[in-house]
Amino acid sequence: MKSIIQSGRTRFVFNGWTVVLLTLLAGIGAGLLVGQWASQARSPVSLLEIPLHAESAVYAEDGFTLGSTRLEEDLDSFFFFDGLTGELKVLAFSPRTNKFMAEFSRQVVEDFELDKQIKNPRFMVVTGLVDMIDTDGSFRWGDSVFYVLEQNSGKVACYGVQLPPNLRSSEKKVYGGKLVGLDKTKVRKVRIRGKE
């Protein structure tokens, strides 16, 4: 079946193959336009950009917690909480030197002032990203804080890392920073099973 369209002096003849060819060309054109639009949507200036990595990761089992979190833009950290000894340890890893450049540790069990009724404290640790303000300029705060919760008492404490000033520029292990208790509170105010 042929369709004839006359426009002034020009005569167009459409048969089955012509329609298929025009449809195919229109589809290719639409595909190119959508592809161009989609590639622009993934450019660095896109408002809908999705990060390809997480800022921290935590794993816990049998009273031990380990994880990683960012201390600064180019400084990652590995942390380990030993539920048997109550020690929280943070190791700063530099991608520039491919080495652990600093170590910060603290016995956090003492900070919780636990009742003698709690014979087997149970802890959980998570991290958060905070942009803290330096108060005196002698050190700078790391970007991450560590929240430690004792499950029986409902007490939680927050710890931050004071980074030594020469940590980023040093080629050797750096000493002088510390893991500081920032604040503590109770998240559970009611007594459970005769415990605080």
Cβ 124 vs Cβ 65: under 8 Å: yes
- Is 161 among the domain residues? yes
Is the predicted pLDDT of residue 194 greater than 50, yes or no? yes
- Is 35 among the domain residues? yes
Q: Can you state the percent helix, strand and coil of the chain, rounding each to 5?
A: 15, 45, 40
Q: What is the pLDDT of residue 165?
A: 78
- pTM score of the predicted model: 0.67
Average pLDDT score over the chain: 79
Q: Which domain holds residue 23?
A: 3-41
- Is 27 among the domain residues? yes
Q: What is the pLDDT of residue 106?
A: 94
Distance CA 87, CA 149 (A): 13
Q: Residue range 59-79: average pLDDT? A: 88
Mark whether 62 and 17 lie in a shared domain: no
- Is 182 among the domain residues? yes
Structural domains in the chain (count): 2
When mean pLDDT is compared across 33-37, 61-65, 98-102, the lowest value belongs to: 33-37
Mark whether 33 and 61 lie in a shared domain: no
Q: What is the pLDDT of residue 81?
A: 94
Structure token pair of residue 123: 């802890």
Mark whether 142 and 181 lie in a shared domain: yes
